[in-house]
Structure 1
């Protein structure tokens, strides 16, 4: 069988959950038709707008967020190549979050009503889509633990290690999967830390040889070392589909 996942982050993502046949491959590839380029800092989704489609992120990075009453924001998730943006809002008429590009990116819009065809045509893809949303929920639950019960060092280390695991799952096509286009302000908004606190913690990590910073990118030098700092357990990132899945 032709390796359709080569060049397709979303196919690689789905294949990490279960084996796909030719029909499933073609249905998935239809999600990546009509790619559109988005520049860094472009607003992809706006809270309150009509929720009529989601996006597959084939290249680049994005994040979802909520603006708060005091003018600050809470970053809710960071999306890496191969992720689906906006799927959490599938059952809502209006967007409950906004999303912005963290780098130049390529996305494909997929009308929500087209999912009916995908679901009716493939039980496997329907199941995987459900498992992806369940896994996203597990990530959010772990994020709550990270925000509420871990130190600044543990929060940052845990979040960065999690992203490295997610990048490996999607087989992201970037120059170095350990190079993350994340600013200190984005990380602070994601983890409830001030920029000063993030900068101080990064300085400690640099001195310990765990990472380098520069040019709005982070280079993870010692993922195992960061795992040790975080006390990281990847159980919540494991594929929830058993080997017996059809």
Structure 2
């Protein structure tokens, strides 16, 4: 992996990494900061496809494409490390464990997006916001020490609405209600949770889709290799 890595470079808030129909070139390892990928409709409506957190790879879902289908940009300032997409093929050929790790990453991203779609389609706005807050906290917890009582959340109300498919007015109303109910309070760059038990109870959160376990794959590999 080290032989493929390029020098990390700073990226500014709102900096665009690529546009739709740009040729797929570098993927990026997000060393620090937050980023997102988006799609826009012909009417100009924007939908956030993915919110990327520190340690994640920006663009892994599109590395087999000739052109990007999404737009990628930074949500905050950060540090990104370019990773030429053609090197993915070399990695897959050179290392089975790394190939499995990449496959697992793509599978988990698919599970996350599927869960978010189901929540968006079948939950109230209040439940959607609570579910996303927990999801983001648990994803952050995988890469650094965070405290549920107060943790980094540099997601604007507009961006949150684009992620959940809700209007800014609806998001604002929901957040005000959650604050009045002494459940949580959103600040510009972080969230304070005042009642964790109620948070998880109201969100009806099942974290199985965020699991890092690979027992299913290990079992299948063991069956293949056994005489």
TM surpasses 0.5: yes
How big is the shift at 1:98? Answer: 0.5
- Residues in 2 aligned to 1:40 and 1:223: alpha-carbon distance in whole angstroms: 31
Aligned-pair distance for 1:243? Answer: 8.9
Q: 1:193 and 1:243 mapped to 2: Cα distance? A: 36
Query: What is residue 73 of structure 1 aligned with on the other side?
Result: 46
How far apart are the structure 2 equivalents of 1:170 and 1:96?
A: 28
Q: 1:171 aligns with which of 144, 158, 183?
A: 144
| Shift in alpha-carbon separation, 1:111–1:227, aligned structure 2, 3 A | same
Give the corresponding residue for 1:219: 191
Alignment match, 2:225: none
Residue 148 of structure 1 pairs with residue 121 of structure 2: yes
Rounded to whole Å, the distance in 2 between the matches of 1:235 and 1:145 is 14
CA distance in 1, matches of 2:44, 2:217: 49
SS in 1 for 2:82: strand
Q: Which of the two has higher C-alpha Rg?
A: 2
The 8 Å contact of residues 40 and 104 in structure 1, kept in 2 or not, is answered as yes
Which residue matches 1:20? Answer: none
Trace 1:36-51 onto structure 2 (pairs within 5 A).
36-51=9-24
Tell me which residue corresponds to 1:106: 79
Is the counterpart of residue 56 in structure 1 residue 26 in structure 2?
A: no
Segments of structure 1 that go 5 or more residues without pairing to the other structure are 1-26
Give the 3 Å change call, closer, same or farther, for CA 172–88 of structure 1 in structure 2: farther
- CA distance in structure 2 between the aligned counterparts of 1:114 and 1:177, rounded to whole angstroms: 39
Equivalent residue, structure 2, for 1:22: none
CA RMSD of aligned residues (A): 2.2
- Residue 236 (1) aligns with residue 209 (2): yes
CA contact (8 A) 1:57 1:105 kept: yes
2:58 paired with 1:85? yes
Cα deviation, residue 172, structure 1: 7.0
Distance 1:197 1:49 in 2: 34
Kindly indicate whether structure 1 or structure 2 has the higher relative contact order, using CA contacts under 8 Å at least 6 residues apart.
1
What is the rounded CA distance, in whole Å, between the counterparts of 2:200 and 2:46 in structure 1?
27
TM, length-normalised to structure 2: 0.88
TM-score w.r.t. length of structure 1 = 0.81
SS of the aligned residue for 1:170 comes to: coil
In structure 2, relative to structure 1, the CA distance for the partners of 1:131 and 1:206 (3 Å cut) is same
Does the residue aligned with 1:185 lie in a helix, a strand or coil? helix
